[in-house]
């Protein structure tokens, strides 16, 4: 008999894991919980979360709670528990903090897929943090959830190397697939009582915050290698930018350099026919692709031609 599961997820990171569970005969996804439809894009078109689309394609009931911590939400999920005898909740990039009384509803608890090697990079921006901080490897952690953020016992971890030119978007997609490949067997092993949860070493925990566009403003007093990693980590979200003539200038692609410059940090100039900016370590960051506010993406050579 298939294990009955309720899946919590919202973003694109969630969808491969949901699809993997829907295709696996060991599980029956009896409901999906996701955020409400949201306005997206320049025209603010009301758009369903990706997991809602997949759930509806498979005929799975969808709950879209405006608030997860209300009595009404709890009663709906408790009724689902009573009706379906749900074995576990699976939470993948849901985007809201789930209160303890909801975590306590399923028989075997709540299982989370997190995009880092916990206890490193607890929090919402774990993918970006791994690149920005210069980690050589990262991975996914399948864990039991408790009342604290990314704090629960570990069921399994899978590692991957971070590429030297990899962006946050590229790493996000690889980790999303890795999570989907890892989750079904680990979930089945746990529910079959073949996996013993292992506590994290909380003394090694690091934390990363929820990012906003303002976090992408470049601090040119940092080293060229730090800024180069940040540009990759924050591509595509939240993006990196600097100020130029009182407007935001998006910095899209860069490379660190061993070339040095006597100019002040943040001062742009042309060096060896390249557009470079001086950084806090005395070295320069070469800019190869950028986007002025309100204009198209352009190469550094195109930008130089218009701003020489």
Q: Any bridge partners for residue 177, and if so which?
A: none
DSSP secondary structure code for residue 137 in this structure:
E
SS3 per residue for 16-67: HHHHHHHHCCCEEEEEEEECCCEEECCCCEEECCHHHHHHHHCCCCEEECCC
Percentage of residues in the chain having pLDDT higher than 70: 100
Q: Please report the pLDDT score of residue 212 as a whole number.
A: 96
- 277 CB-contact burial (10 Å; exposed 0-12 / middle 13-18 / buried 19+): buried
Q: Identify the CATH assignment for 213-307 out of 3.40.190.10, 1.10.3720.10, 3.10.25.10, 3.40.50.300.
A: 3.10.25.10
Do 213-307 and 3-208 have the same topology in CATH? no
Would you place residue 305 in the very low, low, confident or very high pLDDT band (cuts 50, 70, 90)? confident
Residues 6+ apart with CB under 8 A from 232: 131, 165, 166, 167, 168
Q: Please report the pLDDT score of residue 307 as a whole number.
A: 72
Residue with tokens 């900016």: 277
Q: Please report the pLDDT score of residue 308 as a whole number.
A: 61
Mean pLDDT on 41-57: 92
The answer to whether residue 273 scores a pLDDT higher than 80 is: no
The answer to whether residue 175 scores a pLDDT higher than 70 is: yes
Q: Please report the pLDDT score of residue 249 as a whole number.
A: 96
∠ Cα 254 273 245 (to 5°): 65
Q: Which of 58-72, 168-182, 260-274 has the lowest mean pLDDT?
A: 260-274
Total length of the chain: 308
Q: Please report the pLDDT score of residue 28 as a whole number.
A: 98
The tally of CA atoms less than 13 A away on the side-chain side of residue 199 is: 3
CATH number of 3-208: 3.40.50.170
Please give the full DSSP string across 252-270, using - where no structure is assigned.
Answer: EEEEEEEEE-SSPTT-EEE
Q: Domains of the chain: which residue ranges?
A: 3-208, 213-307
The answer to whether residue 144 scores a pLDDT higher than 80 is: yes
Would you place residue 43 in the very low, low, confident or very high pLDDT band (cuts 50, 70, 90)? confident
Mean pLDDT on 144-149: 91
Distance of CA 112 to the CA centre of its chain: 13
Q: Any bridge partners for residue 8, and if so which?
A: 33, 91
**C-beta of residue 221 within 8 angstroms of C-beta of residue 282:** no
Mean pLDDT on 15-41: 96
Read off the pTM.
0.95
By C-alpha distance, which of 290, 284, 300, 143 is closest to 225? 284
Q: Please report the pLDDT score of residue 116 as a whole number.
A: 98
Write b or e for each residue in 71-91: b if 16 or more Cβ atoms lie within 10 A of its Cβ, otherwise e: eebbeebeebbeeeebbbbbb
Q: Please report the pLDDT score of residue 178 as a whole number.
A: 98
**Separation of alpha carbons 35 and 38, rounded Å:** 8
Q: What is the pLDDT of residues 72-130, one digit of tens each?
A: 999 999 999 999 999 999 999 999 999 999 999 999 999 999 999 999 999 999 999 99
State how far the alpha carbon of 217 is from the alpha carbons of 133, 207, 211, 265, 272, in Å: 16, 20, 12, 14, 26
């Amino acid at each position: 008999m298939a294990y009955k599961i309720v899946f919590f997820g919202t973003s694109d990171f969630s969808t491969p894991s949901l699809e993997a569970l829907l295709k696996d005969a060991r599980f029956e996804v009896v409901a999906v919980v996701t955020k409400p439809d949201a306005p997206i894009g320049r025209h603010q078109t009301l758009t369903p979360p990706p997991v809602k689309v997949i759930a509806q394609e498979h005929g799975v009931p969808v709950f879209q709670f405006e608030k997860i911590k209300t009595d009404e939400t709890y009663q709906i999920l408790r009724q689902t528990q009573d009706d379906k005898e749900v074995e576990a909740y699976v939470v993948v990039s849901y985007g809201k903090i789930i209160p303890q009384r909801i975590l306590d509803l399923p028989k075997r608890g709540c299982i989370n897929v997190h995009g880092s090697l916990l206890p490193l990079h607890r929090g919402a921006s774990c993918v970006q943090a791994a690149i920005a901080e210069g980690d050589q490897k990262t991975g996914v952690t399948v864990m039991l959830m408790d009342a604290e953020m990314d704090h629960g016992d570990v069921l399994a971890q899978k590692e991957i190397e971070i590429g030297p030119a990899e962006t946050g978007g590229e790493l996000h997609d690889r980790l999303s697939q890795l999570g989907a490949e890892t989750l079904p067997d680990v979930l089945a092993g746990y529910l079959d009582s073949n996996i013993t949860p292992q506590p994290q070493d909380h003394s090694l925990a690091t934390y990363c915050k929820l990012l906003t566009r303002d976090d992408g403003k470049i601090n040119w007093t940092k080293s060229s290698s730090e800024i180069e990693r940040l540009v990759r980590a924050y591509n595509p979200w939240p993006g990196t930018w600097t100020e130029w003539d009182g407007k935001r200038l998006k910095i899209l692609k860069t490379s660190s350099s061993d070339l040095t410059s006597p100019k002040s940090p943040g001062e742009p100039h042309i060096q060896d026919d390249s557009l470079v900016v001086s950084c806090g370590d005395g070295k320069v960051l070469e800019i190869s692709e950028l986007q002025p506010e309100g204009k198209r993406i352009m190469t550094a050579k195109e930008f130089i031609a218009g701003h020489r």
